[in-house]
Amino acid sequence: LNYRNTSFITSAPDIRHLPQDAGVEIAFAGRSNAGKSSALNRITDQKSLARTSKTPGRTQLINMFEVVSGCNLIDLPGYGFAQVPLEMKLKWQKSLGEYLQRRECLQGLVVLMDIRHPMKDLDQQMISWAIESRLPVLVLLTKADKLKSGARKAQVLKIRQMTAEFGGDVQVEAFSSLKGIGVDQVRRKLDEWYAP
Ligand code: GDP
Protein backbone atom coordinates (compact mmCIF):
# COMPACT_ATOMS: atom_id res chain seq x y z
CA LEU A 1 0.00 0.00 0.00
CA ASN A 2 1.02 3.58 -0.45
CA TYR A 3 1.22 4.93 3.10
CA ARG A 4 1.89 8.46 1.85
CA ASN A 5 -1.80 8.96 1.10
CA THR A 6 -2.83 8.30 4.70
CA SER A 7 -5.34 10.85 5.93
CA PHE A 8 -7.01 11.72 9.22
CA ILE A 9 -10.57 10.45 9.62
CA THR A 10 -11.70 11.16 13.16
CA SER A 11 -10.84 11.38 16.85
CA ALA A 12 -12.68 9.58 19.60
CA PRO A 13 -12.59 10.34 23.34
CA ASP A 14 -12.57 6.62 24.09
CA ILE A 15 -12.73 3.24 22.43
CA ARG A 16 -16.52 3.05 22.70
CA HIS A 17 -16.81 6.11 20.47
CA LEU A 18 -14.75 4.74 17.58
CA PRO A 19 -16.56 4.35 14.25
CA GLN A 20 -18.24 1.02 13.56
CA ASP A 21 -16.22 -2.15 13.72
CA ALA A 22 -15.56 -2.54 9.97
CA GLY A 23 -12.75 -2.73 7.45
CA VAL A 24 -9.26 -3.71 8.60
CA GLU A 25 -7.69 -1.92 11.53
CA ILE A 26 -4.10 -1.83 12.82
CA ALA A 27 -3.41 -0.14 16.16
CA PHE A 28 -0.28 1.67 17.36
CA ALA A 29 0.38 1.76 21.09
CA GLY A 30 3.21 2.76 23.38
CA ARG A 31 4.24 4.64 26.49
CA SER A 32 4.11 8.37 26.09
CA ASN A 33 7.35 9.65 24.60
CA ALA A 34 8.17 6.26 23.05
CA GLY A 35 8.26 7.92 19.64
CA LYS A 36 4.84 6.83 18.35
CA SER A 37 3.89 10.11 16.67
CA SER A 38 7.29 10.38 15.01
CA ALA A 39 6.97 6.79 13.79
CA LEU A 40 3.50 7.37 12.33
CA ASN A 41 4.73 10.50 10.59
CA ARG A 42 7.74 8.67 9.20
CA ILE A 43 5.82 5.61 8.01
CA THR A 44 3.29 7.81 6.22
CA ASP A 45 5.98 10.24 5.08
CA GLN A 46 4.03 13.18 6.47
CA LYS A 47 5.31 15.95 8.68
CA SER A 48 2.45 16.23 11.11
CA LEU A 49 -0.04 13.44 10.64
CA ALA A 50 0.23 12.63 14.31
CA ARG A 51 1.23 15.59 16.42
CA THR A 52 4.66 15.03 17.91
CA SER A 53 4.56 17.35 20.87
CA LYS A 54 1.82 16.77 23.37
CA THR A 55 1.43 17.86 26.94
CA PRO A 56 1.90 14.91 29.30
CA GLY A 57 -1.12 14.04 31.41
CA ARG A 58 -3.64 15.79 29.23
CA THR A 59 -6.64 13.83 28.10
CA GLN A 60 -5.66 12.46 24.78
CA LEU A 61 -7.84 11.29 21.99
CA ILE A 62 -7.74 8.13 19.94
CA ASN A 63 -7.02 9.13 16.37
CA MET A 64 -8.14 7.17 13.35
CA PHE A 65 -6.43 7.46 9.98
CA GLU A 66 -7.23 5.88 6.65
CA VAL A 67 -4.47 4.47 4.43
CA VAL A 68 -6.91 3.57 1.67
CA SER A 69 -10.62 2.91 1.90
CA GLY A 70 -11.20 0.08 4.39
CA CYS A 71 -7.62 0.09 5.74
CA ASN A 72 -7.35 2.11 8.93
CA LEU A 73 -4.64 3.00 11.42
CA ILE A 74 -5.51 3.64 15.05
CA ASP A 75 -3.24 5.84 17.14
CA LEU A 76 -3.97 4.92 20.77
CA PRO A 77 -3.09 7.51 23.42
CA GLY A 78 0.29 7.04 25.07
CA TYR A 79 0.25 5.28 28.42
CA GLY A 80 2.49 5.39 31.46
CA PHE A 81 2.09 8.99 32.60
CA ALA A 82 3.19 9.24 36.22
CA GLN A 83 0.89 12.22 36.82
CA VAL A 84 -2.37 10.52 35.91
CA PRO A 85 -4.46 9.40 38.93
CA LEU A 86 -4.48 5.64 39.52
CA GLU A 87 -8.25 5.40 39.08
CA MET A 88 -8.01 6.92 35.60
CA LYS A 89 -5.08 4.68 34.69
CA LEU A 90 -7.01 1.57 35.68
CA LYS A 91 -10.10 2.70 33.79
CA TRP A 92 -8.05 3.36 30.66
CA GLN A 93 -6.21 0.05 30.95
CA LYS A 94 -9.50 -1.77 31.19
CA SER A 95 -10.83 -0.15 28.04
CA LEU A 96 -7.56 -0.82 26.18
CA GLY A 97 -7.84 -4.49 27.12
CA GLU A 98 -11.45 -4.56 25.95
CA TYR A 99 -10.51 -2.92 22.67
CA LEU A 100 -7.74 -5.46 22.00
CA GLN A 101 -9.99 -8.34 22.95
CA ARG A 102 -13.23 -7.31 21.29
CA ARG A 103 -12.53 -5.20 18.22
CA GLU A 104 -13.23 -7.63 15.39
CA CYS A 105 -11.66 -5.58 12.62
CA LEU A 106 -8.35 -5.28 14.50
CA GLN A 107 -5.76 -7.34 12.59
CA GLY A 108 -2.51 -6.38 14.26
CA LEU A 109 -0.93 -4.39 17.05
CA VAL A 110 2.25 -2.33 16.79
CA VAL A 111 3.83 -1.67 20.21
CA LEU A 112 6.51 1.01 20.30
CA MET A 113 9.13 1.04 23.04
CA ASP A 114 12.21 3.17 23.50
CA ILE A 115 15.10 0.80 22.72
CA ARG A 116 16.83 2.03 25.88
CA HIS A 117 13.84 1.37 28.20
CA PRO A 118 11.73 -1.43 26.73
CA MET A 119 9.17 -3.87 28.18
CA LYS A 120 7.70 -1.88 31.04
CA ASP A 121 4.62 -3.33 32.79
CA LEU A 122 1.98 -1.96 30.46
CA ASP A 123 4.02 -2.86 27.37
CA GLN A 124 3.97 -6.46 28.56
CA GLN A 125 0.28 -6.22 29.36
CA MET A 126 -0.51 -4.95 25.85
CA ILE A 127 1.42 -7.83 24.28
CA SER A 128 -0.34 -10.39 26.53
CA TRP A 129 -3.77 -9.02 25.66
CA ALA A 130 -2.96 -9.12 21.95
CA ILE A 131 -1.69 -12.70 22.14
CA GLU A 132 -4.76 -13.79 24.13
CA SER A 133 -6.84 -12.40 21.28
CA ARG A 134 -4.66 -14.17 18.71
CA LEU A 135 -3.53 -10.84 17.30
CA PRO A 136 -0.07 -10.65 15.74
CA VAL A 137 2.24 -8.07 17.33
CA LEU A 138 5.05 -5.98 15.88
CA VAL A 139 7.34 -4.55 18.56
CA LEU A 140 9.32 -1.54 17.37
CA LEU A 141 12.36 -0.64 19.44
CA THR A 142 12.38 3.07 18.72
CA LYS A 143 15.16 5.67 18.69
CA ALA A 144 17.52 2.88 17.58
CA ASP A 145 19.88 5.62 16.35
CA LYS A 146 20.68 6.29 20.04
CA LEU A 147 22.59 2.99 20.29
CA LYS A 148 25.65 1.85 18.39
CA SER A 149 25.10 -1.05 16.03
CA GLY A 150 26.43 -3.74 18.43
CA ALA A 151 24.34 -2.59 21.39
CA ARG A 152 21.32 -2.20 19.14
CA LYS A 153 21.56 -5.78 17.88
CA ALA A 154 22.06 -7.10 21.40
CA GLN A 155 18.95 -5.25 22.59
CA VAL A 156 16.86 -6.59 19.68
CA LEU A 157 17.98 -10.16 20.49
CA LYS A 158 17.24 -9.68 24.19
CA ILE A 159 13.71 -8.43 23.52
CA ARG A 160 13.13 -11.21 20.96
CA GLN A 161 14.00 -13.73 23.68
CA MET A 162 11.74 -12.00 26.21
CA THR A 163 8.77 -11.84 23.85
CA ALA A 164 9.27 -15.44 22.69
CA GLU A 165 8.30 -16.47 26.22
CA PHE A 166 4.85 -14.98 25.68
CA GLY A 167 4.19 -17.45 22.82
CA GLY A 168 2.12 -16.01 20.01
CA ASP A 169 3.10 -14.15 16.86
CA VAL A 170 5.48 -11.39 17.95
CA GLN A 171 8.08 -9.81 15.69
CA VAL A 172 10.69 -7.43 17.12
CA GLU A 173 12.55 -4.85 15.01
CA ALA A 174 14.81 -1.90 15.62
CA PHE A 175 13.30 1.38 14.42
CA SER A 176 14.38 4.98 14.03
CA SER A 177 12.20 7.76 12.70
CA LEU A 178 15.27 9.97 12.63
CA LYS A 179 17.41 7.66 10.47
CA GLY A 180 14.70 5.69 8.72
CA ILE A 181 15.78 2.38 10.27
CA GLY A 182 13.08 -0.31 10.01
CA VAL A 183 10.58 1.79 8.05
CA ASP A 184 10.39 -0.64 5.11
CA GLN A 185 9.94 -3.63 7.44
CA VAL A 186 7.02 -1.90 9.15
CA ARG A 187 5.35 -1.08 5.86
CA ARG A 188 5.79 -4.70 4.70
CA LYS A 189 4.25 -5.99 7.94
CA LEU A 190 1.30 -3.60 7.64
CA ASP A 191 0.80 -4.70 4.01
CA GLU A 192 0.68 -8.30 5.20
CA TRP A 193 -1.90 -7.50 7.88
CA TYR A 194 -4.06 -5.43 5.56
CA ALA A 195 -4.09 -8.06 2.82
CA PRO A 196 -3.80 -11.50 4.44
P1 GDP B 1 5.14 9.90 21.44
O2 GDP B 1 4.81 10.58 22.72
O3 GDP B 1 5.26 8.42 21.62
O4 GDP B 1 4.23 10.26 20.30
O5 GDP B 1 6.64 10.36 21.05
P6 GDP B 1 7.16 11.46 20.02
O7 GDP B 1 7.10 10.95 18.62
O8 GDP B 1 6.47 12.75 20.30
O9 GDP B 1 8.71 11.51 20.41
C10 GDP B 1 9.13 11.75 21.74
C11 GDP B 1 10.52 12.34 21.72
O12 GDP B 1 11.44 11.41 21.18
C13 GDP B 1 10.65 13.59 20.85
O14 GDP B 1 11.52 14.47 21.49
C15 GDP B 1 11.23 13.07 19.55
O16 GDP B 1 12.00 14.04 18.89
C17 GDP B 1 12.12 11.93 20.05
N18 GDP B 1 12.24 10.90 19.01
C19 GDP B 1 11.23 10.27 18.37
N20 GDP B 1 11.70 9.38 17.48
C21 GDP B 1 13.05 9.46 17.52
C22 GDP B 1 14.11 8.77 16.82
O23 GDP B 1 13.93 7.93 15.93
N24 GDP B 1 15.40 9.11 17.18
C25 GDP B 1 15.66 10.04 18.14
N26 GDP B 1 16.94 10.26 18.43
N27 GDP B 1 14.69 10.69 18.81
C28 GDP B 1 13.40 10.41 18.51
In this prediction the ipTM stands at: 0.99
> For residue 59, what pLDDT is reported?
53
Give per-residue pLDDT as tens, 72-115: 999 998 888 777 788 888 888 888 999 999 999 999 999 999 99
Whole domain around residue 114: which residue ranges?
3-194
Beta strands in 76-169 (DSSP E): 106-114, 137-142
> For residue 48, what pLDDT is reported?
82
Protein residues with CB under 6 Å of any ligand 1 atom: 30, 32-38, 52, 78, 142-143, 145-146, 176-178
Distance 102 CA to ligand 1 centre (A): 30
pLDDT at residue 58 tops 70: no
**Whether 170 contacts 164, CB under 8 Å:** yes
Domain count, the chain: 1
> For residue 151, what pLDDT is reported?
98
> For residue 57, what pLDDT is reported?
43
Nearest to 15 by CA among 76, 82, 70, 72: 76
Tell which wins on pLDDT, 58 or 47: 47
pLDDT mean over 145-154: 98
107 alpha carbon, distance to own chain's centre: 13
Q: What is the CATH number of the domain that holds 101?
A: 3.40.50.300
> For residue 47, what pLDDT is reported?
86
Q: Which of 31, 36, 46, 52 to mutate to test the pocket of ligand 1 (most atoms within 8 A of CB)?
A: 52
pLDDT at residue 56 tops 60: no
